[in-house]
Amino acid sequence: FSPDGHLLQVEYAQEAVRKGSTAVGVRGANAVVLGVEKKSVAKLQEERTVRKICLLDDHVVMAFAGLTADARILINRAQIECQSHKLTVEDPVTLEYITRYIAGLKQKYTQSNGRRPFGISCLIGGFDYDGKPHLYQTEPSGIYYEWKANATGRSAKTVREFLEKYYTTEEVATEAGTVKLAIRALLEVVQSGQKNLEIAVMRHGEPLVMLDSDTIEKCVTEIEKEKEEEAEKKKQKK
């Protein structure tokens, strides 16, 4: 501990998270949407190897912000735990259980010698066995909270403020509305526009769907149109 009661290593880990590319998650009534800002890929690099949204189980998906290597380890452990749970309890993991497991793992590394905390913040979303959607966020310190919508990584604060302003239960009652909200939130902070967005949609009882670039493009043009219309209205009022 530092003299004023802070765990400095944990706080430095949170700084590392703030340097990572933005990830946003929105929990709708019928779907949980996770979106990340893809880092621009070099010309010779294969695009597929940069995966920031991963499946932990058929019904649990995770996006993260921070050190990708740390994330890989955590994802491995979480995937094993999901299967292990299925084996011993004969039920798929609940979102809360797997979040608690990941958070517990992160906490363990803030309290052992010779180890450093994980430098990632995870957004874990999905549907429980009983059909209820959940979205959780875990921090390097090992705490976890449930959210209706949240963002993490670079400019997370801006995105969260945007979500607080525009999140309504009517907006997310449909899947399309949830996706639109997630994309709008990401567009606020993503510099290079729609080409660098990766959106994943999780529905109850169905496998994860990664939206392809055409669908995202369509959505983005729709959003931009709406923005223009709003800007027009404002001009007219003046």
Partner 1 sequence: MLFSEKTRTLDSILNADPVDSLFSDLLPTANNNLARHNFEVAPVKEATSFVKKWNNSCHENLKIKFNHGTTTLGFIYQGGVIVAVDSRATAGSYIASQTVKKVIEINPYLLGTMAGGAADCSFWERQLALQCRLHELRNKDRISVAAASKVLANMVYSYKGMGLSMGTMLAGWDKRGPGLYYVDNDGTRLKGKLFSVGSGSTYAYGVLDAEYDNELHDEAARELGRRAIYHAAHRDAMSGGFVSVYHVKEDGWEFVSRTDVAELHSIYKTDQFLPVS
Q: Which residues bind partner 1 (CB under 8 A)?
A: 76-77, 80-81, 83-85, 87-91, 94, 96-97, 100-101, 104-105, 108, 112-115
Is 90 or 170 the residue whose CB approaches partner 1 more closely? 90
CA-CA-CA-CA torsion for 37, 143, 62, 199, nearest 10 degrees?
A: -30
Amino acid present at 226? E
Is 24 or 82 the residue whose CB approaches partner 1 more closely? 82
Neighbours of 192 (CB within 10 A): 11
CB 73 → partner 1: shortest distance, Å?
Answer: 9
Read off φ and ψ for residue 230, nearest 5 degrees. -65, -40
CB 90 → partner 1: shortest distance, Å?
Answer: 4
Assess contact for 84 and 122: CB atoms under 8 A: no
CB 79 → partner 1: shortest distance, Å?
Answer: 10
Nearest to 32 by CA among 182, 159, 144: 182
Token pair, residue 43, equals 């010309």
CB 100 → partner 1: shortest distance, Å?
Answer: 7
CB 113 → partner 1: shortest distance, Å?
Answer: 8
Is 145 or 166 the residue whose CB approaches partner 1 more closely? 145
Is 9 or 158 the residue whose CB approaches partner 1 more closely? 9
3-state helix, strand, coil in the chain (%, to 5): 45, 25, 35
Is 64 or 101 the residue whose CB approaches partner 1 more closely? 101
CB 92 → partner 1: shortest distance, Å?
Answer: 12
Nearest to 135 by CA among 167, 111, 89, 170: 167
Token pair, residue 53, equals 């949204």
Is 127 or 162 the residue whose CB approaches partner 1 more closely? 127
Q: N- to C-terminal Cα distance for the chain?
A: 56
